[in-house]
């Protein structure tokens, strides 16, 4: 079958947003179906955080991990991975158009055969090759997730960063975040990052896991289908043992101190609800602290396009609702990977492949029989990984006793320097009833990150002080501009809109109420 190509010819049939495991898998399926596909990614090389190694153009120093090759713009990571190998092959054959260091800063939905208009920018809002905008008939969203950072006194000090940030520095720049570090938070991501740091010479003073090891062990899934993942985790633990890195459970970094940058942290013993246990604190001298509590799906672009979003049943975070074919509530938009619910790289790759197949089928590039047959193994992999993600949700269930770590002057929103006392006053004294009211009263979420870093913590604090679940409080930030760009880009877009013919304006169509309640469709 031949795909139905968009008109005008300058537009592309499919845009895949994100070049991690999900995005690469989607692009591979589309390329194999002979569908023109453009992949947009913020990073210099494809592969995402999971497959990332040293950034192109950088010399590999003594600090850099040697976990795999990195091409000039192709995927980093192990060439043994079948998705990476297939993506590299199609990239070399020019069946995939990869646009690296490219960010979508705005998106609109119009009428016509190429309804999706994506506004593009390079680093710092610079111009990108191919023009400032890209039109598409279909979009596959694979925007991934960001680290969840819970605030504590001193968490805004230089030298305190996320676990993902420490990994990105090491893999992307060949730089260690510190000479003597603590890796803390909760979740399976702590172990591989601590291992990577230890193996390039960082003194990892401790790995602090907030959850009790008994809880983790009790809910660890067993069975041959999860054997590889469990062996991988055990391998990290063994390597940390060889480096004499202590792994502490029921422990968290609850404060950081230093003159101009972090110089020491407080490690506190935690109760079952993660509230600090009095009299069980100790200080640890470090020059960097990597702290993360799992991941939060990046749903900003999906929300801007009007996709229905609801709390993920495993983690409770806002996630994009999809059906069995990874289709969202917006016709022509598919979503795959962590933004539909965090389940790990194998699950993301399976979802990406299914999204790519569904998009190819919708464009007439493959028939229904091919859709079912090619997706058979991917559906099994998706189900297997979703079951594992559910187990992880029980192993690392987030508790809200961390609110007890906060002092009045603890900075919660780093961009706008809003402290805990200001947020509490907005709720208790000014009777802010939802996240939007808190934002307007305190400026939380109005800074450069647009609530990507503080949104989850603010929602938890508001829910705590009001005694309501976070899902009932609305969204802290629903920006129409996703990332900071120079004002000239906004002015140019406004000029384009003013010149548009009647009926051709750039108006985002929000989801209707029935789309938010739309149940998943049964698999074919």
**Helices H, strands E: what count in the chain?**
16, 21
- Domain 12-56+65-146+296-374 in CATH 3.40.50.2000: no
Q: Residue for token digits 């996703």?
A: 482
Give the ranges where 273-375 is alpha helix by DSSP (H): 300-305, 345-362, 368-374
**C-alpha span between 407 and 319 (Å, rounded):** 31
User: What one-character DSSP code corresponds to residue 368?
Assistant: H
> What is this structure's pTM?
0.87
Instruction: Residue count of the chain, please give it.
Output: 524
Backbone phi, then psi, for 216, in 5-degree steps? -60, -45
Which of 297, 305, 299, 298 has the alpha carbon at shortest distance from 511?
305
**To the nearest 10°, the Cα dihedral for 35, 43, 317, 477?**
-100
pLDDT in tens, the chain (524 residues): 555 444 443 478 999 999 999 999 999 999 999 999 999 999 888 998 888 765 554 444 444 454 433 333 445 455 578 999 999 999 999 999 999 999 999 999 998 889 999 999 888 777 787 778 899 999 999 999 999 999 999 999 999 999 999 999 998 888 999 999 999 999 999 999 999 999 999 999 999 999 999 999 999 887 666 778 888 889 999 999 999 999 999 999 999 999 999 999 999 999 999 999 999 999 999 999 999 999 999 999 999 999 999 999 999 899 999 999 999 999 999 999 999 999 899 999 999 999 999 999 999 999 999 999 999 999 999 999 999 999 999 999 999 999 999 999 999 999 999 999 999 999 989 988 888 899 999 999 888 888 888 888 998 898 888 887 776 666 666 778 888 788 877 777 766 655 554 433 333 333 343 433 333 433 43
Q: Residue for token digits 């172990």?
A: 191
User: What one-character DSSP code corresponds to residue 327?
Assistant: B
In the CATH scheme, what architecture does the domain 149-293 have? Answer: 3-Layer(bba) Sandwich (3.50)
Which of 84, 87, 77 has the alpha carbon at shortest distance from 28?
87
- 242 burial type by CB count under 10 A (0-12 exposed, 13-18 middle, 19+ buried): exposed
Q: Residue for token digits 């991934």?
A: 144
Which of 354, 363, 326 has the alpha carbon at shortest distance from 34?
363
**Secondary structure class of 333 (helix, strand, coil):** strand
- 283 burial type by CB count under 10 A (0-12 exposed, 13-18 middle, 19+ buried): exposed
**C-alpha span between 42 and 46 (Å, rounded):** 9
Degrees, nearest 5: CA angle 257-258-259 = 145
Output the pLDDT for position 476. Answer: 67
Output the pLDDT for position 515. Answer: 38
**C-alpha span between 163 and 339 (Å, rounded):** 19
Contact 185, 437 (CB under 8 A): no
Please give the radius of gyration of the chain, using alpha carbons only, rounded to the nearest integer: 23
**How would you classify residue 522: left for phi > 0, otherwise alpha for psi between -120 and 50, otherwise beta?**
beta
Instruction: Break the chain down into helix, strand, coil percent, rounded to 5.
Output: 35, 20, 45
Output the pLDDT for position 347. Answer: 94
CATH 3.50.50.60 domain locations along the chain: 12-56+65-146+296-374, 149-293
Q: Which two tokens stand for residue 257?
A: 């101190």
**C-alpha span between 286 and 220 (Å, rounded):** 32
**C-alpha span between 60 and 62 (Å, rounded):** 7
**C-alpha span between 352 and 335 (Å, rounded):** 8
Q: Which two tokens stand for residue 317?
A: 């975070």
CATH 1.10.10 domain locations along the chain: 406-472
Output the pLDDT for position 9. Answer: 37
Q: Residue for token digits 């079948």?
A: 82
- The CATH class of 406-472 is mainly alpha
- Encode 495-517: b = buried (16+ Cβ within 10 Å), e = exposed: eeeeeeeeeeebeeeebeeeeee
- Encode 375-386: b = buried (16+ Cβ within 10 Å), e = exposed: beebbebbebbb
Cα torsion 102, 143, 55, 93: sign: negative
Backbone phi, then psi, for 184, in 5-degree steps? -145, 165
Output the pLDDT for position 136. Answer: 95
**C-alpha span between 88 and 408 (Å, rounded):** 51
Contacts of 235 (CB under 8 A, 6+ apart): none
Degrees, nearest 5: CA angle 180-183-188 = 150
Strand locations in 358-510, DSSP E? 411-413, 418-419
How do residues 224-280 score in pLDDT, each as one tens digit? 667 788 888 899 999 999 999 999 999 999 999 999 999 999 999 999 999 999 999
Which of 64, 65, 102, 84 has the alpha carbon at shortest distance from 20?
84
Output the pLDDT for position 82. Answer: 92
Output the pLDDT for position 432. Answer: 87
């Amino acid at each position: 079958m031949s795909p139905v190509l968009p008109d005008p010819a300058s537009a592309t049939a499919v845009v895949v947003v994100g070049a991690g495991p999900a995005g690469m898998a989607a692009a591979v399926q589309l390329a194999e179906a002979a569908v023109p596909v453009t992949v947009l990614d913020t990073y210099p090389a494809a592969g995402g955080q999971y497959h990332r190694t040293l950034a192109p153009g950088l010399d590999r120093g003594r600090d850099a991990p040697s976990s795999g090759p990195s091409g000039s713009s192709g995927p980093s990571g192990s060439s043994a991975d079948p998705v990476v190998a297939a993506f590299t092959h199609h990239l070399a054959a020019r069946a995939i158009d990869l646009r690296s260091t490219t960010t979508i800063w705005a998106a609109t939905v119009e009428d016509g055969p190429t309804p999706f208009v994506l506004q593009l920018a390079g680093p710092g809002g610079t111009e990108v090759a191919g023009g400032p905008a890209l039109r598409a008939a279909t979009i596959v969203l694979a925007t991934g997730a960001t680290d969840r950072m819970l605030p504590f006194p001193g968490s805004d000090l230089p030298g305190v960063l996320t676990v993902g940030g420490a990994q990105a520095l090491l893999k992307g720049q060949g730089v260690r975040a510190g000479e003597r570090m603590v890796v803390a938070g909760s979740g399976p991501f702590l172990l591989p990052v601590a291992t990577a740091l230890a193996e390039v010479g960082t003194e990892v003073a401790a790995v602090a896991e907030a959850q009790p090891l008994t809880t983790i062990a009790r809910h660890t899934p067993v069975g041959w289908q999860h054997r590889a993942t469990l062996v991988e985790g055990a391998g990290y633990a063994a390597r940390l043992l060889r480096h004499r890195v202590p792994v502490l459970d029921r422990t968290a970094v609850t404060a950081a101190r230093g003159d101009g940058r972090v110089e020491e942290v407080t490690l506190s013993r935690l109760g079952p609800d993660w509230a600090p246990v009095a009299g069980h604190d100790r200080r640890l001298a470090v020059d960097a602290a990597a702290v993360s509590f799992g991941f939060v799906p990046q749903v900003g672009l999906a929300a801007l396009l009007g996709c229905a979003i609801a709390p993920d049943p495993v983690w409770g975070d806002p996630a994009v609702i999809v059906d069995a074919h990874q289709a969202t509530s917006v016709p022509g938009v598919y979503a795959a990977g962590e933004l539909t619910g965090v389940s790990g790289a194998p699950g993301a790759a399976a979802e990406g492949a299914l999204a790519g197949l569904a998009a190819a089928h919708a464009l007439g590039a493959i028939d229904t029989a091919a859709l079912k047959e090619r997706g058979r193994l991917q559906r099994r992999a998706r189900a297997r990984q979703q079951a594992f993600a559910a187990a992880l949700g029980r192993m690392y269930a987030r508790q809200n006793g961390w609110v007890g770590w906060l002092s009045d002057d603890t900075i919660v929103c780093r961009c706008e320097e809003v402290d805990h006392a200001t947020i509490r006053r907005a709720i208790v004294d000014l009777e802010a009833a939802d996240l939007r009211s808190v934002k307007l009263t305190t400026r939380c979420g109005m800074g450069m990150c647009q609530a990507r870093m503080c949104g989850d913590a603010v929602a938890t604090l508001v829910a705590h002080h009001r005694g309501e679940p976070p899902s009932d409080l609305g969204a802290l930030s629903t920006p129409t501009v996703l990332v900071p760009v120079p004002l000239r880009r906004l002015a140019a877009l406004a000029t384009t809109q003013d010149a548009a013919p009647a009926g051709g304006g750039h108006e985002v169509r929000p989801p209707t109420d029935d789309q938010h309640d739309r149940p998943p469709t049964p698999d074919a």
